Structure 1
């Protein structure tokens, strides 16, 4: 009788030779850990706090050992028990995954390219999570694979464990690889833009692009007083689409989505650099300076993380700041972008309903599941977190410190040594930097009241100026649809809400006039008047009374005060001084 043959770790093979099917064929090979063992597919991928049920795309699961089919018993929608295996002998698990959703957190596969968030592709084998995993691929002719994983000596790529494997995105296609270094650390960049010509156009249009990226990366290092990046080998993947904006961070890589239309808009290139800065800075803040609730990660269910305001909000604050520090934008550019964010925040009624801490805790069920009424009852921890970071930074600067120093201290005490932080650790760090700020920050986190934004801006000679709308306020946001003028959003405590309008209502007439255009609606409204509305709701005609209010604030603009005192101007100059100036 021969001895059992043991396969070290897990072998993961992806057959990607038929992109026209949009399906990846997966084979996992490992030694059976026991007679009965469990396999499971993650429900989410770190950095995107939503249970995504990746199992929806999985099909044809089977298990085999020595030519014998093993029984599978489903324990939950994404967990199975493999039964009747001979322990320590090789077992093969095969299945397919449909890849038709193009985003940074899902999978997409066609004749142009393939992108795989491996949390949606690779099953976890019970008892094997902390064992090495080797990844291999079969590709169409002329295609290459790009992943942050280290190359294995005998082919493919090697991950130290399951967590590193599924944290490593995989991009495949006939792409051009660009390479550069950031303080001696290799960095690679791959752009997919539909076809090679579009990718070439992008890089030809911005010949200084990789130098600009390098400078942004160095600014991230300097912000944390680090001589080099945290990663030893970093990969950027950019999907340049017609429309889109977003990114997802990983330990040694990030995936970006950016729209050509965004790029061609005013400030579009600067916004791209800010997106790059945001995801790259996550290499420290989130990936290594990590909430304790994510150590280790539970891939099957949500973990309440009260500190997402710090993980994402602080990163959102510094991502606008980093191109300025890198010398790639001017203070006026930064103030323009900051003003846009402050305006969005002040025009968000949901900030009076949901606190910043609650927003962090409810990320799993609210932020990533918006509907037409979400703006009335919630506030993004990205947006309000950035506003709180701004106020905290200016508060610290008034007292001889800065947010930069707090970040550096937390990196040394937690991130650099792999120690997860909790809310009290963050509050203590701010308190240590400035006596009293810990309790102030705790109040900002748990209250729905605004911080003293105007006061903090005044300390650096800035102010927010309101710009009023040109027409009376109804509180209804409308859009022209094929079937007519339709209500897209209703603001809480607005004239439209009091009138009884609902999202989805079709507006047919106002008083004696047939409605067809948004501009027409705005022109006919009169503040203080009582208008008769004729609407259609679920094919039923109704008449409502609408009494618009006076014109409301359309936006806020951040301006420098001509009356600013010398000490205010000096404080602003010190805050906005680019590195090296």
Structure 2
């Protein structure tokens, strides 16, 4: 055993109790050693306190003698010994998400940040991990992008240091696996969970997206071992993604995946959601994993790392997610602007954009964006969606001045692909240099202000007409003008969820009908005009009443029934539509990388 190595082992302890067992063997470099576990995972900006899931931790030395262990705080433990020691502990794993760890009879999953302790001062040591096969799950395989001599098998995996080690998640289970190549880079597609996916079609489509993105940056693919892994946890309704070096973990509803026998020339909205999710996380291989905020170089995973730049790293990526799908030839430019309109609609339906600036949204992601409450829609704005809005505006301004956001991304890659980190204000400075004009006022309004950027003249120059309209339901996200209702209908001004008694209020839009009636988040609506309603029927029933009147509505709050008067008013103009004025100009913008 190498002295300058950290030797880990992980095995399934109990699938019914959702327990992994982890051990770490190493030789201390001083009399006193402190062990720590990260408190958050890169790409998800919330203190998650993974150490809360560690149980039964103990240490023995090379003589098999117990070594006293003192817990210093929530995620640090201290012991004294100069002999080689083995730390053994169990991890409770029952968080079915892309961020933590999960284990049951059907599958196992873990991020290194959730399960692997590290001795402070030894983060530079090589890390070896032995993944032990469980005799009770003989058909399980291992999926990860971490270096190994035996792909998809139990056994030994290696990393050059702890930072690399914890950035390669693992899936254990009886998953489906297909592969494709882009140049000399192997791309593996792993689907864990019951599905009906046309894997051949999925691989063809992902190959086109990956080829487009690698070509976009005009450089070698930035993958350590010439291999990249798309790992998808297939669920009934879960959704999300998290970027890692050389891999991504995704979660999607099984109905988002393409089915065998479907028309391959048609991409459903659900499948497009999955493809754009894959595209988003793949684009992060350049924009976040290599080009990153200075505050993340290096990551400090025991505490918050504040930056005002997430608008660019997540917002730019959100802008490119569908653009790359279009440039890969999977959707046309009109489908792209429909998708873009729906992204913009999410911004225009967020009244919090008038209360929180984009820079503040980024800086306070730790306490606001990742810890949203019932008032979030009225108080905060997403640096994903509004960041994409600003990326669009900036791209169109740059194109007016013989440049583009493409050129800015390629310049950032050339300057910061070494991972040194982009200083605050650098992106704004480089954009101004590319445009050849002073963009100070634009960025001040876009990043520090709370007023909307006027997209109408910017889009018109690209052959697209921008407009805002009314809808009767928040489920209608807009797109083209024809997607709107076409006439004014009463709008409840609240997001509703199913409830056995009727409809549960999730959030109330300031100054909307529900707000004016006095409804609040958590209320259970049971009747409109003394007739039973549900979340599926209330909007249709409300639309039957003439505008400018009031309708009685009954709801429970904390088990107490009360009646209110709901005004019949329309929505504000907060649904975006984009229509084509000049197809040639639109195609030149969307389909051509500059």
TM-score (norm 1): 0.90
The 1:193/1:442 distance shift into structure 2, 3 A limit, reads same
Does 2:186 correspond to 1:192?
no
* Equivalent-residue separation in structure 2 for 1:254 and 1:508 (angstroms): 43
**Correspondence for 2:262:** none
112-121 vs 10-19, which moves further: 10-19
CA shift for structure 1 position 523: 4.0
Q: Contact 1:508 / 1:515 at 8 angstroms: preserved in 2? A: yes
Per-residue displacement from partner, 1:179-225 (whole Å, max 9, x unpaired)?
Answer: 3322212222222124xxx3xx41xx252322321221111112212
* Equivalent-residue separation in structure 1 for 2:118 and 2:413 (angstroms): 31
CA shift for structure 1 position 467: 4.1
**Correspondence for 2:313:** 311
Q: Contact 2:326 / 2:332 at 8 angstroms: preserved in 1? A: yes
Runs of at least 5 residues in structure 2 that lack an aligned partner in the other structure: 259-266, 473-487
The 1:507/1:145 distance shift into structure 2, 3 A limit, reads closer
**Correspondence for 2:522:** 504
**Correspondence for 1:249:** 243
* Equivalent-residue separation in structure 1 for 2:292 and 2:503 (angstroms): 47
* Equivalent-residue separation in structure 1 for 2:97 and 2:59 (angstroms): 30
* Equivalent-residue separation in structure 2 for 1:17 and 1:480 (angstroms): 38
Per-residue displacement from partner, 1:525-574 (whole Å, max 9, x unpaired)?
Answer: 5433345555432233445444343454473321113xx5xxxx543231
Does 2:91 correspond to 1:71?
no
CA shift for structure 1 position 21: 3.6
Give the alignment partner of residue 293 of structure 1, picking from 292, 295, 299.
295
SS of 2:70's partner is strand
In the TM superposition, what are the counterparts of 1:473-552 in structure 2 within 5 Å? 473-507=491-525, 513-517=530-534, 518-519=538-539, 522-523=542-543, 525-552=545-572
**Correspondence for 2:201:** 208
171-180 vs 20-29, which moves further: 171-180
**Correspondence for 2:451:** 449
* Equivalent-residue separation in structure 2 for 1:335 and 1:162 (angstroms): 43
Q: Contact 1:477 / 1:490 at 8 angstroms: preserved in 2? A: yes
SS of 2:289's partner is coil
* Equivalent-residue separation in structure 2 for 1:271 and 1:533 (angstroms): 36
Q: Contact 1:43 / 1:299 at 8 angstroms: preserved in 2? A: yes
Does 2:430 correspond to 1:429?
yes
CA shift for structure 1 position 40: 1.2
* Equivalent-residue separation in structure 2 for 1:169 and 1:98 (angstroms): 17
* Equivalent-residue separation in structure 1 for 2:3 and 2:126 (angstroms): 11
SS of 2:365's partner is coil
Q: Contact 2:40 / 2:48 at 8 angstroms: preserved in 1? A: yes
CA shift for structure 1 position 371: 2.5
In the TM superposition, what are the counterparts of 1:50-199 in structure 2 within 5 Å? 50-65=46-61, 66-82=63-79, 84-85=80-81, 87=82, 89-140=83-134, 141-151=138-148, 156-194=156-194, 198=195
**Correspondence for 1:365:** 367
Q: Contact 2:32 / 2:78 at 8 angstroms: preserved in 1? A: yes
Q: Contact 1:487 / 1:507 at 8 angstroms: preserved in 2? A: yes
**Correspondence for 2:480:** none
The 1:336/1:474 distance shift into structure 2, 3 A limit, reads closer
Per-residue displacement from partner, 1:380-400 (whole Å, max 9, x unpaired)?
Answer: 111000011011111111110
* Equivalent-residue separation in structure 2 for 1:420 and 1:540 (angstroms): 55
* Equivalent-residue separation in structure 1 for 2:174 and 2:255 (angstroms): 24
* Equivalent-residue separation in structure 1 for 2:528 and 2:272 (angstroms): 43
CA shift for structure 1 position 324: 1.3
CA shift for structure 1 position 346: 1.6
**Correspondence for 1:273:** 275
Q: Contact 1:100 / 1:108 at 8 angstroms: preserved in 2? A: yes
252-261 vs 395-404, which moves further: 252-261
Q: Contact 1:193 / 1:240 at 8 angstroms: preserved in 2? A: yes
Runs of at least 5 residues in structure 1 that lack an aligned partner in the other structure: none
Per-residue displacement from partner, 1:33-83 (whole Å, max 9, x unpaired)?
Answer: 22221111111111111111112211001111122211121111111111x
* Equivalent-residue separation in structure 1 for 2:187 and 2:246 (angstroms): 10
339-348 vs 222-231, which moves further: 222-231
241-250 vs 255-264, which moves further: 255-264
Taking only aligned residues, the RMSD between alpha carbons, in angstroms, comes to 2.4
Give the alignment partner of residue 19 of structure 1, picking from 11, 15, 18.
15
The 1:7/1:317 distance shift into structure 2, 3 A limit, reads same
SS of 1:130's partner is coil
SS of 1:276's partner is helix
* Equivalent-residue separation in structure 1 for 2:422 and 2:593 (angstroms): 29
CA shift for structure 1 position 432: 0.9
**Correspondence for 2:476:** none
Does 2:567 correspond to 1:574?
no
Does 2:339 correspond to 1:342?
no
* Equivalent-residue separation in structure 2 for 1:548 and 1:276 (angstroms): 41
Does 2:401 correspond to 1:399?
yes
Per-residue displacement from partner, 1:1-39 (whole Å, max 9, x unpaired)?
Answer: xxxx97321100002264344211000000022222111
* Equivalent-residue separation in structure 2 for 1:520 and 1:391 (angstroms): 36
TM-score (norm 2): 0.88
CA shift for structure 1 position 243: 1.7
Q: Contact 1:6 / 1:90 at 8 angstroms: preserved in 2? A: no
224-233 vs 487-496, which moves further: 224-233
**Correspondence for 2:30:** 34
The 1:486/1:288 distance shift into structure 2, 3 A limit, reads closer
The alignment covers a number of residue pairs equal to 558
Q: Contact 1:430 / 1:438 at 8 angstroms: preserved in 2? A: no
* Equivalent-residue separation in structure 2 for 1:531 and 1:126 (angstroms): 64
49-58 vs 502-511, which moves further: 502-511
Per-residue displacement from partner, 1:450-474 (whole Å, max 9, x unpaired)?
Answer: 1111121111121234244353244
The 1:11/1:436 distance shift into structure 2, 3 A limit, reads same
* Equivalent-residue separation in structure 2 for 1:323 and 1:530 (angstroms): 46
